[in-house]
Amino acid sequence: MQSARNLADRIASAASAEPAGSTTRGNGTTPRVAVIGAGPCGLALLRAFTEAAKSGAELPELVCFEKQSNWAGIWNYTWRTGTDAAGDPVHGSMYRHLWSNAPKECLEFADYTFDEHFAKPVPSYPPREVLYDYIVARAQKSDIRKYIQFDTAVRWISHDAKKDNFSVTVEGVHTGEFRTEEFDYVVVASGHFSTPNVPDFPGFEQFPGRILHSHDFRDSREFAGQHLLVVGASYSAEDLALQAKKYGAASVTITYRTAPMGFDWPEGISEVPLLTHVKGSTAHFSDGSSRTVDAIVLCTGYRHHFPFVEDSLRLRTRNILYPENLYKGVFWVPNPKLMYLGMQDLYYTFTLFDAEAWYARDYILGRKTAPSAEEMCRDIASWRARQETVSSWFDAVDFQAEHMKDLLADVDYPKFDIELTRKHFHSWLNHKKQNIAGYRDFSGFTSPCTGTKSPDHHTRWWNAMDDSATAFLATGARGE
Amino acid sequence: MQSARNLADRIASAASAEPAGSTTRGNGTTPRVAVIGAGPCGLALLRAFTEAAKSGAELPELVCFEKQSNWAGIWNYTWRTGTDAAGDPVHGSMYRHLWSNAPKECLEFADYTFDEHFAKPVPSYPPREVLYDYIVARAQKSDIRKYIQFDTAVRWISHDAKKDNFSVTVEGVHTGEFRTEEFDYVVVASGHFSTPNVPDFPGFEQFPGRILHSHDFRDSREFAGQHLLVVGASYSAEDLALQAKKYGAASVTITYRTAPMGFDWPEGISEVPLLTHVKGSTAHFSDGSSRTVDAIVLCTGYRHHFPFVEDSLRLRTRNILYPENLYKGVFWVPNPKLMYLGMQDLYYTFTLFDAEAWYARDYILGRKTAPSAEEMCRDIASWRARQETVSSWFDAVDFQAEHMKDLLADVDYPKFDIELTRKHFHSWLNHKKQNIAGYRDFSGFTSPCTGTKSPDHHTRWWNAMDDSATAFLATGARGE
């Protein structure tokens, strides 16, 4: 048997074995940047470059590969589950009737404010379609669609040490055609909410109803009238339990491993200790109790999964605030020309992505350099030591605010009031404690960019069954 | 930009750039054979080799890669849908309560008869678990498990023209570790019922119930009490419609593109022309009719999908009786050292796999040689010309019987009465016409190997709700 050699090695030696003449690129001086994914992170990076161009920066050659047919990543809703039209795992985890689960003031683009987008104050917790429009509108304004190759899946990324560049092999998902290109920089922006973590429990094989991961959850109305078991104790479990009940589930039982979420749930939602096994359609829990249920939703999280990145370049991490090996949360320490965007456990979302994107852009433009590996490791270690002291959601928000400040201090992203967003997050956490089914009804959050105050929504979230942008943006006094 | 070069080229040149010393294999004389998949086809091939060994053949080095944790391919039932524990698309399409949809006498292993397996006559239409046991029992008897590397997914197969061998790159699905090995022969036995073909219809995005492909169908009881829409007009549509009704669906509407299946459906199942669109939960059809439905099952077939095979080696075909480019239905014409098993539209299943496996084995053992490419093409063309004349299911059965005879004439697979199986298939087709919900109740099929006659099952299929092997094999007079 041949000694084991991985695909990465092979590709690297293929590249190094090539005659020099076969690997020319453009005029030989413009660096090439591969961006993997045209979701919020990828779009933020492209936007960052076009903003720099406005003030005269000479841009590298930007190539963004997107396996879907449209942009916005998981915000690009699909009814599909399982495999997509090309036979790949469906990327999206988005469900119908998703409304923002944190105030929009905490994720406002400082360079494209809600005032600019809506031209009027709007409530703080918009549904998916509204946020999708917001993301896409900024992208359209930046004229960045031209950089994106849609229906193009990245199959393999490897590094050639001799040339100090990357080979990126992509497939046209509908043509089945492969090609490989070389790049000076690679930015992985493919997200970490697409590959579900799916545990097994005894008895699942004989359970007569549907068992699904939250990744495949699409429309709560499917579960109207049913008794639902939700496995998990984080955002997905919290929101899908509420959703299901709101849209008519007969009951929702949430089973947790370590600790209950402990919210003051509406009638018909309750938490029990961990599922031990299922017998027929009866779920048994570790406290000896049991419930007969119609369907089981595994809200058991996602995996950072990059099967298209060669071993030695691959980020391996759980979903935490400050992953190992990423300087500033972005730069791959062994080779900072490889960057990862948005890989943190997220409180700040769009704004954190922007902060990371602006920083990555400046590095690629040569405005910043990476310090020595030793120094990067020291910096990461200090953040990770601090991470150890995080013991509440409030702490976690504060930690991420500091991380974002650290990035923003050094880039020309428009200023906004980070302290205010931190306070908003704290209010949000308190609102959830007060009323988990009603926290989205709180208003009066002020924009950290413009100071605009969010009004009441015309309908309390629990009663707002229509999640369209039209319904959300309609005006009117709040009905109770 | 670099000229496009695909991963295959890279791997090939990596291999050719290696110093000779790094690619040794064993003693340098034993050929190496990679078998992709340990389902019925892969197991048949391994079995074929062990049978040859009994009569003194010197075996090549056999390495079977299986991405699942157990063997039997799609017969290895899983409750999972979407992505598996490793983040790959779930392979299996098997559902609970699947019973054979053709008489078992038409798929009997001639070298491991039902008499040998059951030691008594058993009815002709066993449920999944019984057939799973049958497949696995032969495999166990052959001591072939040792050749299989489980939890190992094949990621890339390429050919090196200089060495005239194949590089196969695999990943340990739980370790994320890649390695590449070289092989003299590759046999692709990964099946073609795993990658769903999933069409879109207007209104799916707003449909409030579940939309799934039959690939993700697991347990009919999920749909009890519901009004179901089934899209399709082939085996999956036929069987899932019956299943769903049997287990309590309120109604099943089947929508077809070209022609209805036209069976005499039980009360509550009906066929209508093609779905045009969905509005809310109402499905509209091309004849202007409409139905309100709770769930939609897309029985729209599967794709021959081999993303792990380099372009120039990749079989591209629809699901037909005699695909292009496969001599004898097996050998890849441009390079017969690459073989595909079981890629036909299937009537004969296990026996056709065996016929192909025995033929492939003899080629690998040097007992047969491949004719010139020209001759192979001529042979394929004559089969494909005949395929054009197939105009009924009866014709299709006859065609495949001839294909199988052609293979079996040349190998030492134990003789069995193919003509009898052809007659059985014709009876089966007539039984279905007579009574689609009762065709599985017909008995009296005789074994083409032993002559044993199948008895009545103790319970009519429509009333047999328990699909366990224990229930099926219990004896007793038929209750009505």
Amino acid B252: pLDDT: 98
Residue B386 or B175, more confident = B386
Q: In 3D, which of A358, A450, A370, A366 has the Cα closest to residue A404? A: A358
B207: nearest CB among A79, A176, A205 = A79
Q: Determine the Cα–Cα distance for residues A455 and A471; give it in Å rounded to an integer.
A: 15
A287/B contact by beta carbon, under 8 A: no
Collect all residues with Cβ–Cβ distance below 8 Å to A339 and sequence separation of at least 6. Answer: A185, A186, A187, A188, A330, A331, A332, A360, A363
B5: nearest CB among A171, A180, A208 = A180
For residue B478, name the pLDDT band (cuts at 50, 70, 90): confident
Q: Which of B1, B30, B214, B314 to mutate to test the interface with A (most CBs of A within 10 A)?
A: B1
Residue A213 bridge partners (DSSP): A298
Q: In 3D, which of A390, A408, A407, A406 has the Cα closest to residue A345? A: A390
B434/A contact by beta carbon, under 8 A: no
Amino acid A189: pLDDT: 98
Q: Which of A79, A129, A215 to mutate to test the interface with B (most CBs of B within 10 A)?
A: A79
Amino acid B479: pLDDT: 64
Residues B410-464 have pLDDT tens digits of: 999 999 999 999 999 999 999 999 999 999 999 999 999 999 999 999 999 999 9
Q: Which strand ranges, in their side-by-side order, compose the sheet holding A338-340?
A: A148-149, A61-65, A32-36, A185-188, A338-340, A331-332, A326-327
Residues B448-457 have pLDDT tens digits of: 999 999 999 9
A303/B contact by beta carbon, under 8 A: yes
Q: Which residue has the tokens 């598996």?
A: B84
Collect all residues with Cβ–Cβ distance below 8 Å to A405 and sequence separation of at least 6. Answer: A418
Q: How far is Cα of residue B209 from the mean position of the Cα atoms in its chain?
A: 30
Amino acid B7: pLDDT: 39
Residues A77-105 have pLDDT tens digits of: 999 999 999 999 999 999 999 999 999 99
CA-CA distances (angstroms) from residue A258 to A193, A253, A271, A283, A419? 22, 16, 12, 18, 32
Amino acid code (one letter) for B402: E
Tokens of B337: 């050292």
pLDDT of B480 above 60: no
A205/B contact by beta carbon, under 8 A: yes
Residues B373-415 have pLDDT tens digits of: 999 999 999 999 999 999 999 999 999 999 999 999 999 999 9
For residue B476, name the pLDDT band (cuts at 50, 70, 90): confident
Contact A178 B7 (CB under 8 A): yes
Tokens of B300: 């729209």
B11/A contact by beta carbon, under 8 A: yes
B209: nearest CB among A7, A85, A222 = A222
Give B-chain residues touching A295 at CB under 8 angstroms. Answer: 222
Which DSSP string corresponds to A404-434? Answer: HHHHHTTS-PPP--HHHHHHHHHHHHHHHHH
Which DSSP string corresponds to B318-347? Answer: -S-SS-TTEETTTEETT-TTEEE-S-SPPS
Q: Is the dihedral of CA A439, A441, A444, A446 positive or negative?
A: positive
Phi, psi at residue A306, to the nearest 5°? -130, 70
What number is the ipTM of this complex? Answer: 0.89
Residues A364-389 have pLDDT tens digits of: 999 999 999 999 999 999 999 999 99
Contact B196 A17 (CB under 8 A): no
A24/B contact by beta carbon, under 8 A: yes
Average pLDDT of the residues in B330-358: 98
Tokens of A480: 């109770």
Amino acid B24: pLDDT: 34
Amino acid B183: pLDDT: 98
Amino acid A311: pLDDT: 87
Give average pLDDT by consecutive 10-residue segment, chain A, 480 residues: 36 37 50 98 98 96 98 97 94 96 98 98 98 98 97 96 96 91 98 97 97 98 97 97 98 97 98 98 98 98 94 95 98 98 97 98 97 98 98 97 97 98 98 98 97 97 96 82
Give B-chain residues touching A87 at CB under 8 angstroms. Answer: 89, 195-196, 303, 305, 307
Amino acid B385: pLDDT: 98
CA distance to partner chain A, nearest, from residue B270 (Å): 23
Q: Determine the Cα–Cα distance for residues B36 and A257; give it in Å rounded to an integer.
A: 38
Amino acid B290: pLDDT: 98
